[in-house]
Amino acid sequence: MFLYILGLVAVWYVYRWYKESKRVPNKGDKYVYITGCDSGFGNSLAKHLDKLGFCVIAGCYTENGETALKKVSSERLTTISLDVSKSESVKKVAAFIKTLVGEKGLWAVVNNAGVATPSGPIEWLTIDDYKSMLAVNLNGVIDVTLSVLPLIKKARGRVVNVASVFGRISPFGGPYCVSKYGVESFNDSLRLNMAPFGVKVLCIEPGFFKTSVTDTVILKKHFRSLWDRLPQDLKDDYGYTFLETGLEQLDERFKQFRDSDLRKVVHCMEHAIASVHPRYRYSPGWDAKFLWLPMSYMPTWLSDGFFLRYSPKPKASVI
Ligand SMILES: NC(=O)c1ccc[n+]([C@@H]2O[C@H](COP(=O)([O-])OP(=O)(O)OC[C@H]3O[C@@H](n4cnc5c(N)ncnc54)[C@H](OP(=O)(O)O)[C@@H]3O)[C@@H](O)[C@H]2O)c1
């Protein structure tokens, strides 16, 4: 009986592998628009898709990012200046893409641009801190998608949203998890709405990877500047030890979890764009698969207990 079940599982995996290994034809006719191509996943994906023969439209936040990417890519790849938090910039890029792709439409948009600061305990932050991150991580995703959706419908193409495993579980304060939960929700609603039009909507939920988003020097600098601007009564509630332990833990935990092999994420993004049968969700990274996702299915008392046990305690803590 055990061998029979094992055999069925093996057959299922072989069938799935075979089904998922098929790639879409005519890559040279397919335009893929990626946001946030200056560095990290977006940059690696742009170069990878360019090598595979896709026509990449790489949205870059900085001029340096554009220049560097142009130097290492083919003539098929087009770079364009893009700030996803500014509607005029998003509209301008969409108008450019419309003339570039013509009747073919746009095969895929990859909503990748994102920021991770400021992050800290909720009461250390202001509404403007929230607004600035949501403008990029959530409103930017929605704005960019809406700006090119008619072109994607024309190509019966794909929307690939880069959320995070922190769109499934929220172990720390600040706008990052809020923004990524928002992306997950937008992704799921859009998937249902677009299914009748033959448009596929896919979500990437990476764990911790070594990019600027997880750069501890940047994160610690922002964390400390949040502390510096706190009123004295809040500083008294938390105590200086909270700050010091928080900064130490940030270093330790990120070292423990950060995976430097960005190919794991890029492979999932490429599969979402190029596979005939993409998956609805991808969770690259061992920490995503074996820690954060299982934790997200656990009862709240258990996951809260775990996070509280391993977080620094404010001086005024009663637990
Ligand atoms: N690294 C991880 O562990 C991890 C895990 C889960 C999810 N993610 C998500 O993956 C995505 C890519 O991040 P990454 O890890 O590759 O980090 P990254 O290297 O910092 O990439 C983010 C990109 O977005 C660009 N960007 C920032 N603000 C922008 C704006 N207003 N308009 C357009 N582009 C903007 C950045 O440009 P500059 O470089 O010029 O600032 C950068 O190129 C993000 O959505 C992030 O939240 C990352």
Q: Catalytic pick from 31, 176, 181, 282? A: 176
Encoded tokens for 66: 């554009």
Residue 1: the pLDDT is 80
- Catalytic, 176? Answer yes
Which CB contacts under 8 angstroms, 24+ apart, belong to 135-139? 135/85, 136/84, 136/85, 136/179, 137/175, 137/176, 137/179, 137/180, 137/182, 137/183, 138/178, 138/179, 138/182, 138/183, 138/186, 139/85
The model's pLDDT over 194-218, given as tens digits with 9 standing for 90+, comes to 999 999 999 999 999 999 999 999 9
pTM equals: 0.96
The residues spanned by each domain of the chain are 24-309
Pocket test for ligand 1, best of 33, 41, 84, 287 (most atoms within 8 A of CB): 41
Ligand 1 cavity residues, CB under 6 Å: 35-36, 38-42, 61-62, 65, 82-85, 112-115, 136, 162, 164, 206, 208-209, 211-214
Mean pLDDT of the chain: 96
140: CA distance to ligand 1 center in Å?
Answer: 12
pLDDT tops 90 at residue 167: yes
Distance in Å, CA 137 to ligand 1 centroid: 9
**CATH label, 24-309, candidates 3.40.50.1860, 2.40.10.10, 3.40.50.720, 3.40.50.1000:** 3.40.50.720
Minimal-distance CA residue to ligand 1 atom 32? 83
Q: What pLDDT band is residue 163 in, cutting at 50, 70 and 90?
A: very high
